[in-house]
Amino acid sequence: MSLLLVTVATFLSLSVWFSTNAVATALETDKSIGESSMAVLTIAVQIGFVFGTLFISFTNLSDLINARTLFTVSSILAAVTNLLVIPLDSTDALIVTRFATGAFLGGVYPMGMKVLSGWYVSGRGFAIGTLVGAVTLGSGTPHILMSVFSENWQMVILVSSILAITGGVILKVFVGDGPHDVVGAKFNPRYLISALSERGPRLALIGYLGHQWELYAMWAWIGSFMFYVLEERSLFGDGIQLASVITFLVFAVGAVASSLAGAWSEKIGRTAVATIAMVISGCVALFVGFIPVEWSVLIVIFVLIWGASVIADSAQFSTAITELSDPVYRGTMLTFQTGVGFALTAISIWLLPVVKDLSGWGWAFAILALGPVVGITAMLRLRSLPESRNLAGGKR
């Protein structure tokens, strides 16, 4: 029951992440925001998230106070700042409010992983994989909301904020601290330095950085790519935009794949599953943008494969961090890992449309394959080390 509740709470809370991406076309029209400014809005969320997670990790805040409390307060504040998108017209003000939303989300996602790690030792990979699936689905929720409220973008923002508040309340009221939760951490800003001097946590972090280079740039721009390929086609009559539905399905198949990959990693190993996923996603990134738009059905098929594989490795890195680091500072390591990983996403999210404008979608997506190359190298190295025996009960 704890897995279900934490998953639902995280799914609902993360619905504010890509809310402005889902309504990008409407914002460009109603608030005179250009495509480059839309990219900045997305990057502002990422940078805000980095600020929030690094603040929490360097202060050890996630291990000094109750993770459920931090999750709830953060999700409510993220929902409130998300709502400010509706009345604000200034691009600068919108950037600030999106930064704030991202900063508060820094207390949501890592805290969800910490709460679950307190409930599971055996099966932790499946549990965190399921949670990452919830993050994936929650991130895609605004796109399905936009397909329903296509004529009223304000409702997308409003509903996503309501969902985030609901998620925070669910985690606080209906979920307790797990039997494996570790309390009593002391403020120790030097812990991160000592932990990352060890090969295991360092390689897990490098693998995660490679994964993040690809993931969020793909998520941020796949909706635009789908509109480029499918244009204004509707699924049923004129009510539901096909591009929005396909974009949501990219997140949905990723959610399922994340959970399944987490379960699979308990059987064949964390590094094995992460490597397989990155091989598939990296290969799709290399060629999907070069497929002629007339072959739209083939593009959709490969985009869905990409959606599944691009996130399937994520939980393996986070679970590995919990298995390779001191349990007392588990929250600190998780927030630091996600923080630096999301710092890197700001670069790839910004770079992708620049390359697209210069050379087209093919080369824009192809540069994302650099991430899986780095991630695969790190995972194969980690797999060869004695420390990898701490992963998945000895299954590397």
- Report the domain count for the chain: 1
pLDDT at 192 over 70: no
Q: Confirm whether 249 is domain-assigned.
A: yes
| Alpha carbon distance, N-terminus to C-terminus of the chain | 28
Q: Confirm whether 184 is domain-assigned.
A: no
Q: Residue 191: its pLDDT value, please?
A: 65
Q: Confirm whether 301 is domain-assigned.
A: yes
pLDDT at 352 over 90: yes
Rounded to whole angstroms, how far apart are CA atoms 48 and 180? 31
Structural domain boundaries, residue 301: 2-175+189-394
Q: Residue 276: its pLDDT value, please?
A: 95
Q: Which of the pair, 282 or 267, is modelled with greater confidence? A: 282
Q: Residue 394: its pLDDT value, please?
A: 60
Sequence-ordered alpha helix ranges (H) in the chain: 2-13, 19-22, 24-30, 35-58, 61-64, 67-83, 91-105, 109-117, 124-148, 153-174, 191-196, 199-230, 242-268, 270-287, 296-312, 314-324, 330-359, 361-366, 370-383
User: 89: how many CB neighbours lie within 10 A of its CB?
Assistant: 10
Q: Confirm whether 167 is domain-assigned.
A: yes
Q: Which of the pair, 391 or 195, is modelled with greater confidence? A: 391
Q: Confirm whether 263 is domain-assigned.
A: yes
CATH number at residue 387: 1.20.1250.20
Q: Residue 73: its pLDDT value, please?
A: 94
Q: Residue 186: its pLDDT value, please?
A: 61
Q: Confirm whether 348 is domain-assigned.
A: yes
Rounded to whole angstroms, how far apart are CA atoms 218 and 386? 34
Q: Which of the pair, 197 or 42, is modelled with greater confidence? A: 42
Rounded to whole angstroms, how far apart are CA atoms 289 and 38? 21
Q: Confirm whether 329 is domain-assigned.
A: yes
Of the candidates 102, 104, 100, 114, which has an alpha carbon nearest to the alpha carbon of residue 62? 114
Global confidence as pTM: 0.77
285-302: per-residue pLDDT in tens? 999 999 999 999 999 999
Q: Which of the pair, 250 or 326, is modelled with greater confidence? A: 250
